[in-house]
């Protein structure tokens, strides 16, 4: 039987509460569990109460080959348990990020947003420069027309 460490959603609408369970991989998210390993309350303000886990039982399940979901792997990493599966996922993600950076392609949504803002800022600066150049050329076009007129008036006054 393949075992997975997953979260089971509890609570009500807009008040999520999750239980960390050892579950057979073939059962649905909220299906029958093998063992309850702790709970996670993302709304709880106190960090000690937010994540309560049975560290020894989690280590046991990981020792016999249970695979944690990505979210569970991140949660158990907070208490100092890093599974081999999680280490491999982090290494793959790091390699993919480096490959994307070499290609110049954003890897995740955060990088996409940063790239988009940088592009918008660059276009805004470009349009501001274009407007400044246009204003400068208009001023330059007006000034030469005024200067000859002033010279002729001064010349007329001197004569």
Q: What is the pLDDT of residues 136-145, one digit of tens each?
A: 888 777 765 5
Q: Do 37 and 29 form a contact (C-beta atoms < 8 A)?
A: no
Q: How many folded domains does the chain comprise?
A: 2
SS (H, E, C) 55-113: HHHHHHHHHCCCEECHHHHHHHHHCCCCCHHHHHHHHHHHHHHHHHHHHCCCCCHHHHH
Same domain, 73 and 132: no
pTM for the predicted model, two decimal places? 0.59
- In this predicted structure, the answer to whether residue 77 has a pLDDT above a threshold of 60 is yes
CATH assignment of the domain containing 62? 3.30.1320.10
Same domain, 111 and 72: no
Q: How confident is the model at residue 38 (pLDDT cuts 50, 70, 90)?
A: very high
pLDDT (mean) for 22-30? 86
The edge-to-edge listing of strands for the beta sheet with 51-53 is 51-53, 35-40, 15-24, 3-12, 67-68
pLDDT (mean) for 10-21? 92
- In this predicted structure, the answer to whether residue 15 has a pLDDT above a threshold of 90 is yes
Q: How confident is the model at residue 27 (pLDDT cuts 50, 70, 90)?
A: confident
Residue-level pLDDT at 21: 92
Domain boundary residue, one of 86, 115, 134: 86
Alpha-carbon gap, residue 69 to 5, rounded angstroms? 6
Q: Do 72 and 8 form a contact (C-beta atoms < 8 A)?
A: no
Classify residue 110: in a domain, yes or no: yes
pLDDT tens by residue, 92-118: 888 888 888 888 777 777 777 888 888
Residue-level pLDDT at 154: 59
Percentage helix, strand, coil for the chain under 3-state DSSP, each rounded to 5: 60, 20, 25
Measure the N-to-C terminal CA separation of the chain; round to a whole number of Å.
Answer: 111
Same domain, 82 and 21: yes
Same domain, 68 and 118: no
Residue-level pLDDT at 104: 78
Which residue range forms the structural domain that includes residue 23? 3-86
Phi first, then psi, for residue 39 (nearest 5°) are -145, 160
Classify residue 92: in a domain, yes or no: no
Residue-level pLDDT at 43: 92
Same domain, 126 and 82: no
Copy the structure tokens of residue 51. Answer: 């994540």
Selection from 32, 31, 28, 23 nearest residue 2 by Cα: 23
């Amino acid at each position: 039987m393949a075992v997975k460490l997953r979260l089971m959603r509890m609570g009500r609408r807009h008040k999520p509460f999750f239980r960390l369970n050892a579950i057979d991989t073939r059962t649905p998210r909220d299906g029958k569990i093998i063992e309850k390993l702790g709970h996670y309350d993302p709304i709880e303000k106190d960090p000690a109460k937010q994540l309560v886990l049975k560290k020894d039982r989690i280590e046991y399940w990981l020792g016999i080959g249970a695979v944690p979901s990505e979210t569970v792997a991140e949660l158990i990493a907070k208490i100092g348990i890093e599974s081999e599966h999680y280490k491999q996922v982090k290494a793959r993600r790091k390699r993919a990020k480096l490959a994307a950076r070499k290609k110049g392609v954003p890897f995740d949504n955060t990088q996409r947003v940063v790239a988009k803002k940088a592009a918008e800022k660059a276009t805004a600066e470009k349009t501001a420069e274009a407007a400044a150049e246009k204003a400068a050329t208009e001023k330059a076009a007006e000034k030469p027309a005024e200067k000859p007129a002033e010279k002729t008036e001064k010349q007329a006054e001197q004569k």
